[in-house]
Structure 1
Amino acid sequence: MALHDLAASVQQVYPGQGLDARIEPAMVSQVLALLQDTHSDVKNLAVTTLGHLVSRVRAPRFATMVETLCAALRSNDEEERDIASMGIRAMFHELRASERSADTMHTLVHGLVPFLTAQIDAHQDARQSIALDVLNDALTLAPSHVAPLQASIAPTLLTHMTSERSAVARRAIQGLAHLAAVSTLETWTWITEQGLAGLVPPFNNEAASVYLLHALAREVPTRLATQAALRVEQIQGVLQRADERDETDELRESCLLTLQAMIAGDLHASTRVAIAHTAQSMLAYDPNATEEMDEEDEEDALDVSDDDDLAWRVRRAACRLLSELFAAPGAHDLCAMAPALAEALYERLREREETVRLDALAAVRLVARTCIDAPLAMHGLVETLQTWRGASAQAAALTALSELMTCHALSLQDGPAIMRMCLHALESDTHAASYVAALGLVRHVARQAPAMAHEAAGPLAASLARAVLSLQHRVGLEALYACTPFFANVSLAAPEPAGSLLEAILARCERSDADASVYDAALVAMYTALCVMGERVGHRLAPILSLVHARLSLETTRARCLQIVQDWAGCDAVRSLAPVLACFHACLPLLADLASRPATAVEALQALHAVARLLGSEALATVQQVVALGPPAPDASSLPALLAVAELSVQKEPPRARATAEALVLPLVPQLARVPPPALLALCRLISVVAAAEEAVAPALVTALERAWDAQSHEPGAPGAMAYAQCLCAAASSSVALPAVLARVEGLLQAPHIASQTLGYMTIGLLGQQGTLLGWPHAPAVYAQAAASTVPGQAMAMGGMLLSDVSCQAPTVQALTNGEASALRVLREALKLASESQVRSLAPCVWAPLLSAPLCAAAPDATAECVARLVTDDAARFFELVQRMQASDACGRAMALGAVRAMLPLDREHDLDAALETCAPSILQRLSDEEVLVRHAAVMALRAGLQSRTSLLLQALPPFLASLYDLTRVRTELQRQVRMGPFTVVHDDGLDLRKNALETLGALLDTSLAPQVAMDVLMCVVRALQDDDSVKLMGCLLLLHVADVASEAVRHALPDLAPPLQAILARKVRENATKQETEKAAELSQAAIRVVGRLAQLDPASLAVAELLERVASAAPGAVRRAAP
């Protein structure tokens, strides 16, 4: 109890704060004394307390603790050594968790490691193992602190990895693997050359080298990837020599496990193929096999296992190796071998060891899933799986067949055998695993290959009925899930058994143990049965409808029943049945009630809409009752569905138009700014229907819209103007209401208030978009008025009239020809509103002016946007645009590249893709254009392409990479002096170009070219770190990106990266710096610290990194630990 209190009180002291100097010595000595207590619980608690103390005691007591534990490690008592190792491990854990204990961790490691290496080299068997355990703890829990001592650790571990004591050798090998994760290139080379020397002639200590290679592949697969081809070849040699020298099966298994671990690295396709060949050869490994073995005993072999024969572990490792290969990225490269590998795996399905059979089947599943198009002969597989006995084996076989069915790997000729397996497993429910797996296979067969199930439809239905009524909840639920595809695709082949299955489902729903999941699955199955079988359901229809009606009022199944009612109302096989129509009539009051509740309003209104469409006038009273309740909040999710129901009501009974407008439309008009787009679209449709149904309603709606807008618009261009304009257009959609609405809109244009004019202009733009202004006599006058106006929305009005009135096109085209940017703004608004057909009709008259030099010089970005829209809708113009890239004027070339950039981020495949791929070199060669404006446009187009159309540009990009790298250089010819008051400053016209080039390099690192360009990108990063502060910041971010995708390249570039990072970290902010300058300097400093933290992870033993860490530590202690990702 006292020790518990002591541990709790120690934990309350903040790490690094220190204990009371008066009680600290006694506390430490008492805890150390308790490590030798006779009770294990006391000793374990003392170990925990010791861990808490390590970060809270002063240096003398810390030294005492370390000395005491080291002395215990030298003890002849095994229990005392174990307790000491546990204490040191607790200290490592505590110091690792505390940011303030880096110095203490450093002291602990540098004191322990020499002692441990001496213990290991002392050749005292009782102490070597525990010393190696503690050293491995240090390597895993404090790798960055141990890394500087690697030169003394590596020789010790390399010496003892070949120890005759397996415990010592195993721990030494594991330590070498942990050390390799933090070692320098020199130590890594030493480990691989000395430790793996057994893999080269004269092959001394070959087994130890294999075990070390396995550990390295498991711990540092990426670092080993550069040697993968050589190491795979060496492992193949080990396996060949093992056959010649009759080596143990353990060595063969370790070789295969080594290859499996190496797959985690980025291996070349040829290396993976070599590994696959090795696995294929080892699948047949059986030292006891002879040519005289009786083939007739194959079936009996499934029941026989030789406990003295461990060759099955080699075959199991080969199966798992193939599974790893086909689960890894790039597995499609092995599809050419898939048929041969599948045949070899089929042989292992007859294996006497069940674990090998299961692993072989798992590998077959992965091969079939990966190589869907490979010609795999599955008939033999199905025949073999039929012979499997045992619940777990049968369950695995049935699950595998379900997956193979999903992959379409099975053929119809396998159907009878598959059905026999299913029915055999469904005959008894004593083995839940195989029973559930069989139900899953039935579900997949009925969904993917229903023809297989047609001949066995009757027995399948009977088996499903028994399973549905099972007392096991999971079995019953899986059976109900299987019923849905059975009814959808198989039931018509056996309508009577399907009817019996329906009765079983109804009986299951009547049981007291039916929960929400059972009801949900049962309702879905019954819905499917009724949709497929229709009136063939017979006398079972009434109970089904009664169940749906009853469950409609219960919360747990209400949502599913509402969906079923909605879907049945649209199903041709169901909606004409008299009992169904009667059920719909009975559901109307309940639907109206649910529609008034916020939680169920959406689903209930959608179901009511479907039922009302079917019942027509018979449901209008209920619909009108719902509409009379008025609208919910403008942002309510049920508003679109309510408006759709109201629209249907007016369509069915036009005299209800005025009442509907008063109940729904007019209350929403003052709140249009809050109505979301889906509801606004539904409201516009309702307004159109209402205005068409009753002529007098449209003027009243327009008046309400005008007044609401006047009340809400307190400034020009208020955000709700577009919503009011859309509603005005909806009111004008009827030919009867159009003249009245247009007259009111003209009145808005003549109003003195800017807000009213804005609404009028936007309405005209939308009316022009719809094509309703064609032949409007006042169009030329309104167009001229808009051209002379500066009111928001006037360009939109001119764009709309440009689309619908030919008379408005001539002045616009002339203005474009004259290079007037105002006309370009009108055209851009028109193209935003235009449909594809409208763009095609407008393009011939505006294309030539858009490509003219004056317009490209006056507004290149707007011109590029318009050209991109024209080309997107008419791909034939693309090659003409590409020719514009060769023009003599720089503005024209930049405009063409800007248009290409605007076209590249298409969110779908497009006819332009083939043309873009063909013309990619023409685009990329502009990276070396003599004008900075063009180079800037080219690099922005390249970045857009890498982000959205990567495959179109990658093939053509390599010849132009040098030009891209060159854009990151500082060019003195682009720097000019500018007078700013009494000062002269240097303005760099190439700054934005360099920043965009670096961003493009970042996008390039996300492509498959990243390994090839990493070193070149790093050279660009070195230049960026010596550039302007904003470019330095981007250089730091780009360096972090490179470290994520090509860490080995960053290690090699450390000597070049360190000096500019040192300069950034050493720079001081001037005393009279502004707040903005201080914030920018701090941001750059933090980015550099993050970079240093990442470099410390990649190469903690590097001298350059150590100097950078020292620089950071002197400025901000602990900063590297906090900033490291």
Structure 2
Amino acid sequence: MSRNSYSIGGLVTKMRNPDADLRFMALNDLISEVQRSGDQFGVDDATEHSTVEQILALMNDLNGEVKNLAVKALAALIKHVSESRIQTIIDRLVAFTASKDEGVRDIASLGLKTVVAEVTPGSPLAVTCCTKLAPKVIAQLENPASSSELLIDSLDLLSDILSRFETTVRTNTSLQTSSLKAITPLLSNPRPALRKRAVATLATLISAAHETTLFNSLVTSTVVKFLKGSDIEQLKTSVSLVAALARTAPVKMGKKAKDLVPLIIATLQKDDDELKEVALQSLEALVLKCPTEVAPFFTQIVEAATSLLKHDPNYAGDDDEDVEMGEASDEEEVDEDDDFGDEYSDDDDTSWKVRRSATKLLTACISTRSDLLSTFYQTVSPTLISRFGEREETVKVEVWATYTVLLGQTKVWGTGSAAKEGESTNGRLKRKRSSDQMDVDEGPISQLRLQTPAIAKSIVKQLTAKSLATRQAGFALLHELIGVLDGGLETQISPLVSRVEASLKTPDSGLSGAATQLKIEVLSFLGLFFRTHHLKIFVDELPKLVNLLVAAVGDKFNKIAAEAFVAATDLVKVLRPVSPSVSSTSAAVVPQINALYAATMKRLTSSDADEEVKGKGIVCLGTLLFHAGDQLASDYDTSLAFLRDRLKNEVSRLNAVKVVGEVADSPVCKGPAFETWIQECLVEVSALLRKVHRPLKVASFACIKALLSRSGSGLPPAASQALLADLQPLINDADINLLPLALETIATLLSTDASTIAYVQNSILPRIYELVQSPLLQGPSLDALLAFFTAFVRAGAEPLPLVQTLAQAAESVKKTVDDSGTQSGMQSLATSSRCIGVIVREAPQVADGIVKEYETIIQSSSSSSASIILGLLTLGEIGRVVDFGSHKKAFNKIIEHFSSSSEDVRRSAAFAAGNVAVGNSDAFLPPILQLIETDDKKRYLALQALKEVIIHSSADSLAAISDTLWTPLFDNCQAQDEGTRNVAADCLGQLTVLNPAKYLPQLQARLSNKSRHTRATVIAAIRFTFTNESSSYDELLAPLIVEFFKLIHDSDLGVRRLALSSLNSAAHNKPHLVRDHLTTLLPELYGQTEVDESLIRMVEMGPFKHKVDDGLDIRKTAYECMHTLLDTCLKEIEIHEYLGKVLAGLSDEEEVKKLCYLMLVKLAQIAPTAVTQRLDDSVPAFTETLQTTLKDSAVKQETERLAELQKAALRCMVVLNRRASPTNTPKFSNLVQTVVLAGRFASEWKELAQNAVQWDEVDAMEE
């Protein structure tokens, strides 16, 4: 006997001990041993037999704790015992479930469920459960002698098996058929709870079954039969079954919707409230899960729901909106198992359940059909408003929630009209809106504005309810309302403020925190109220509102105080606007500003405020000073000193730096004390540049910019030098994002204080010369470097020594270029030349000498390639601003370098030639055009030179020569060389923008050219016209759109990709041109997202075969275009079809997956209901991505790419998980729990979730 068998045998002996504690301990030790040993656990057959038998015996133990632990022991052992023993366990537990002893039956059922839960899906044990356990469970279901309790337990267990082992069940057709046969008769069982379990199990079965035969059989033989009958109980059951099937098998149910929906609507005419409730719930499921298929019946569904929203046969009062609730009823907990049965007496009023279900159905309709917003405001909105005073509290809150959804949909899909209809009440728009958005139909917003007085009156009246949750829901609805309309409560100010006061003075009671949540909601509402309503509207209530805020700022609960500071900050901006100009402060406002200031300082200087409160309080103080600093000047010694001291506090300094920068920009803060404070803060903030904390450095630069702007030329030299000393360590490429901020700050100092030039010359300039050699210097960093040299020369620096030193600094780079021709070396030479160019631009008197020097270099046969490259690039930079008319030899030599053996020299020569021609087109443009027309070898370089001419010439000078340029460019459309065609296309596009009326028709004429090269070039040229912001030629472009985008189906893949790319550009820059044609374009675009197997080929690479998908670029570009349309043409997109294509892309290649992740995240924000209903459909694709593993031979790049892809998937899932729930999205929730949180992605998920919350907070602050 092995050692393990011996120790386990000892535990079995203890399990027989009369002492229950010892039996319990023995079981516990056994579980620990199994868990500790893992896969290494093993005992001989005799020990295994005795162990299993003894544990099964303990399931009849008199001690409850021992029985429960025996179940856990079986679950732990199930993976480590032989198949025969598993069969023994299953047989014995199944036999136990038939026991008349309720305790034994319950523990056996628990044991079986636990065993199933421990089996890994797809494992051999899963097959065993389906082939050994499931038939025994089905036999119990078919046994007429089985009790109701046993049937319920058996249905639960079978449902667990079907859902957990779905992959195995899908291939086991005999199990599917026998399950259907056993369960279907139970739908007629007289017990409601059992019928409900049967419905749930059938829904799970149909979801697991791959073929539709089973589903069709169930619908035809049972569902339709019941729905056409008159038995109320059968009608309830069948309607509930339709709802369950819609949730678990929406694709299958969608195909039967046309037959079933009319029958379900018909059941609403029956005089049975429970049947009405269930039918409404079924319609809700169909609307959510099969929106496209139920569309033909949508009007009937909405009419039925709207009608039943008023279903209140036992109440003889007036319209509900006139009812004032004296008390708020507690929400009832309803036993869902009784939905099928008549558990209430005739005296019980269950009509509220019908109204609640009708409201939820309307919510589903509104959430899924944003295209019908105008219709909803005509038909549904008035009825919802009339039910705002609903007497049943549960229904009332649901009605308000439905209207909140309607407002939310209007905000997403209808706010373009708000921009056009008018501004907010206080004369400003809360959000920027494009001119394109202003063109949308004004329907929804116009109708909402007309109904707003009734909405506001009804909701404000209901805010007296005793239920705190109800009041909170009311304020949430008002918050959403004014957020959509940028106002709207002008007629209800007095009663509204009274309700606000009552809610903010609600005493805290109990542990639920309901009062705290209510106050936070009210304060959040107040903040938005202040932002969207003009002061004159609520000025009479201002003292009361300020007193409420003052009290809330001092509240003992920090969350309330923090939210109060946010609301106070918004109020201050309204009390004293400073944009576009500073307004005077009225006598009524001054006391309120003083009161808010006193309360703010009192809380900030108290010892009981946490960091969140202090952070929001500092922002409020900054806003007070920015907007009303002149009114608070007498207390500068306290307020400004407080902010300055917070700069020294490690916890709060980041927030303080931002606020100090804001106060420094204040147009009203003035005086000697303020100027002294500016200089003191500059010293403190400058020192922060040496800190490691990067966000602090970024904030410090913004603050320093404001402080320098305010101090102007009055900054003491010592302060300037101290700041330069703090900036000096940052003049390197270690943090390329901070570098431009440092350089811009130095440039600002040079422009305001010329005395700093000496320090810069001695301490900063050496670092600058080192920096010029960095290959990382591009974009903003390069622009900032050029700005530095501009400021330095303007401040009085000698230009010639600068040029010479820059040339010397390039020497070390030259050797690198000569030896290897690296791109990094070329970048450094280009940087040097650009720096020299801006110096010459500021000091043109040195140009002639520099040109002669570099002319000599490019003409010398002894010059290295790097020297020639630097010379050419520098001559090009100078030639753009200096006329080379007296240096024609230099130009001729530049052209000679077109024949150089070095590609870098040739490219540099083309750059130089083009820019010299910019400075004198009459002299130097003709030779370039001649090369294009006559020299095949130099044509490409000449075109590059011409491109430089077009890019850098002014519009007027370019217009004068455009005809001269057009012909040689147009003739190159058919060039065989792709590079030549691309350059020609860019140039043609830029010229077309200058004279679209003349050039667009010429491009259009070649759209159908037989040459694919010509078509590609023309498309690329027209694409450029879409990128130009001007709308002057849109009328000329509009007729071309449809003809142009027919090339999406071009036979040439290159042309097709360019057409899609052009559509993307048009959708991004000129969406109004695309919008009217999307009905035609979208189906064609969606077609390009599908995988074309004919474009996939296998390429042999040595002993390996590599799959090449020539259609991948097409699909990627199509998805990029879809992504753009989501931003610019949202209202024209049928969201459900669009979502289907996005979900399909989750199974495509890596590049497409990443795009689809981004689109899903965006869709989750703008169409949350639609996304939630399809989350389970995304599970197979997410699972495959997360479970992908690489071979051991994978290279580092492959590993990094997979890690990046999986992180992108997780980031998307984090956002989607907010919409998920085990009830509505069981598969997605299970994926998160089993694959992510219980696997190797757990820590990464946690980090991503935390980051997502932080970004949400930032977004909320920016709104």
Give the aligned residue type for 2:720: V
The SS at the match of 1:556 is: coil
Residues 267, 449 of structure 1: alpha-carbon distance in 2 compared, 3 angstrom cutoff: same
- What residue is the counterpart of 1:573 in the other structure? 668
Between the aligned partners of 1:61 and 1:963, the Cα distance in structure 2 is 55
1:678 correspondence with 2:788: no
Match of 1:922 in 2: 1043
Separation in 2, partners of 1:342, 1:1003: 37
Partner of 1:852 in structure 2?
A: 971
Q: Which residues of 2 match residues 136-215 of structure 1 at below 5 A?
A: 136-147=159-170, 148=173, 149-183=175-209, 184-198=211-225, 200-204=227-231, 205-215=234-244
Q: CA deviation at 1:446?
A: 0.9
Q: Which runs of 5+ in 1 are unaligned?
A: 981-990, 1022-1030, 1047-1074, 1084-1121
Deviation of 1:164 after TM superposition, in Å, equals 0.6
Do the aligned partners of 1:850 and 1:856 also contact (CA within 8 Å) in 2?
no
- Residue 1091 of structure 1 corresponds to none
**Contact in 2 for aligned 1:422/1:441 (Cα 8 Å):** no
Which amino acid is 2:377 matched to? A
CA shift, 1:178, in A, is 0.6
Q: In the alignment, is the contact (CA less than 8 A) between 1:177 and 1:215 conserved in 2?
A: yes
On the 8 A contact 1:927/1:963 being kept in 2, the answer is no
**Aligned pairs, how many?**
1005
CA distance in 1, matches of 2:457, 2:1140: 55
Among residues 793, 797, 804, which one is paired with 2:912 in the alignment?
A: 797
Q: Distance in 1 between matches of 2:1156 and 2:522?
A: 54
Aligned: 1:622 with 2:719? yes
* Counterpart among 594, 602, 623 of residue 688 in structure 2: 594
Counterpart code for 2:1001: F
Equivalent residue number for residue 9 of structure 2: none
For 1:1051, the equivalent position in structure 2 comes to none
User: For residue 733 of structure 1, what is the aligned residue in structure 2?
Assistant: 841
Deviation at 1:286, TM superposition (A): 0.8
My pick for the range that moved more, 731-740 or 346-355, is 731-740
Q: Give the aligned partner of residue 746 of structure 2.
A: 646
2:802 corresponding residue in structure 1: 701
With over 3 angstroms needed to count, the CA separation of the structure-2 counterparts of 1:964 and 1:263, relative to structure 1, is closer
Do 2:1016 and 2:1058's aligned partners in 1 also have CA atoms closer than 8 Å? no
Cα distance change on mapping 1:873 and 1:172 into 2, 3 Å: farther
Query: What is aligned with 1:380?
Result: 454
- The whole-number CA distance in structure 1 between the counterparts of 2:599 and 2:88 is 77
Give the AA of the match of 1:338: Y
Name the CA shift for 1:129/1:294 in 2 (closer, same or farther; >3 Å): closer
Could you tell me how far 1:1012 is from its partner in structure 2?
8.8
CA offsets 1:96-133 (integer angstroms, 9 cap, x no match): 25x5x2x3321221222322222112122242222212
What is the match of residue 139 of structure 2? 118
Matches within 5 A, 1:172-571: 172-183=198-209, 184-198=211-225, 200-204=227-231, 205-242=234-271, 247=272, 249-268=273-292, 269-290=295-316, 298-299=323-324, 308-326=348-366, 328-371=367-410, 373-376=445-448, 377-384=451-458, 385-387=460-462, 388-390=464-466, 391-408=468-485, 410-427=488-505, 430=508, 431-451=515-535, 452-490=537-575, 492=585, 494-571=589-666
Which residue of the partner structure matches residue 1231 of structure 2? none
1:104 has 2:101 as partner: no
Classify 1:13/1:560 alpha carbon distance in 2 versus 1 (closer, same or farther; 3 Å): closer
What's the TM-score, normalizing by structure 2?
Answer: 0.72
Query: Match for 1:812 among 897, 905, 928?
Result: 928
Distance 1:592 1:517 in 2: 25
Amino acid at match of 2:649: L
Q: Tell me by how many angstroms 1:143 deviates.
A: 2.0
Note if 1:938 corresponds to 2:1055. Answer: yes
Please state how far the C-alpha of 1:855 moved relative to its aligned partner: 5.5
* Distance in 2 (alpha carbons) for counterparts of 1:650 and 1:286: 78
CA distance in 2, matches of 1:478, 1:710: 60
Q: Deviations over 1:502-556 (max 9, x none)?
A: 1111111221112322222222222222222242235334322121122222122
Query: C-alpha separation between the residues in 2 aligned to 1:1000 and 1:666?
Result: 46
Task: Give how far 1:662 is off.
Answer: 2.5
The letter of the residue matching 1:532 is H
What residue ranges of structure 2 are gaps of 5+ in the alignment? 1-24, 333-346, 415-444, 509-514, 577-584, 1068-1073, 1101-1107, 1126-1132, 1164-1169, 1172-1193, 1203-1239, 1241-1263
CA pair 638-890 structure 1, distance change in 2 beyond 3 A: closer
Q: Percent identity?
A: 22
Equivalent pair of 2:320/2:390 in contact (CA under 8 Å): no
Report the 3-state secondary structure (helix = DSSP H, G, I; strand = E; otherwise coil) of the residue aligned with 2:593.
helix
Whole-angstrom distance in 2 between the partners of 1:908 and 1:310: 61
How far off is 1:739 after superposition?
3.5
Maintained 8 Å contact 1:253/1:317? yes
Q: Distance in 2 between matches of 1:88 and 1:887?
A: 72
Per-residue deviation, residues 430-480 of structure 1 (Å, max 9, x unmatched)? 443433333222211111113332222222122222222222222222211
Greater mean deviation of Cα atoms: 51-60 or 604-613: 604-613
> Which shows bigger deviation, 59-68 or 296-305?
296-305
User: What residue number does 1:1111 align with?
Assistant: none
Rounded to whole Å, the distance in 2 between the matches of 1:171 and 1:185 is: 22
Distance, in Å, in 1 between the alignment partners of 2:268 and 2:60 is 50
**Counterpart position of 1:986:** none
**Distance (whole Å) between structure 2 residues aligned to residue 497 and residue 1003 of structure 1:** 52
1:8-23 alignment runs, 5 A limit? 8-12=32-36, 19-21=43-45, 23=47
Tell me the amino acid that sits aligned with residue 74 of structure 1.
A
- Name the SS for the 1:389 alignment partner: coil
Quick one: distance in 2 between partners of 1:725 and 1:999?
38
Task: Give the structure 2 partner of residue 1107 of structure 1.
Answer: none
Displacement after TM superposition at 1:775 (Å):
4.8
**Would the aligned equivalents of 1:819 and 1:855 in 2 still touch at CA under 8 Å?**
no
Taking the TM superposition and a 5 Å limit, the aligned residue runs for 1:947-1096 are 949=1066, 951=1074, 954-957=1078-1081
Q: C-alpha displacement at 1:956, in angstroms?
A: 4.2
TM-score (norm 1): 0.81
- Tell me if 1:867 matches 2:988: yes
- Amino acid paired to 1:70: V
Q: How much does 1:354 deviate?
A: 1.5
Shift of 1:160: 0.8
Identify the residue that residue 1113 of structure 1 maps to in structure 2: none
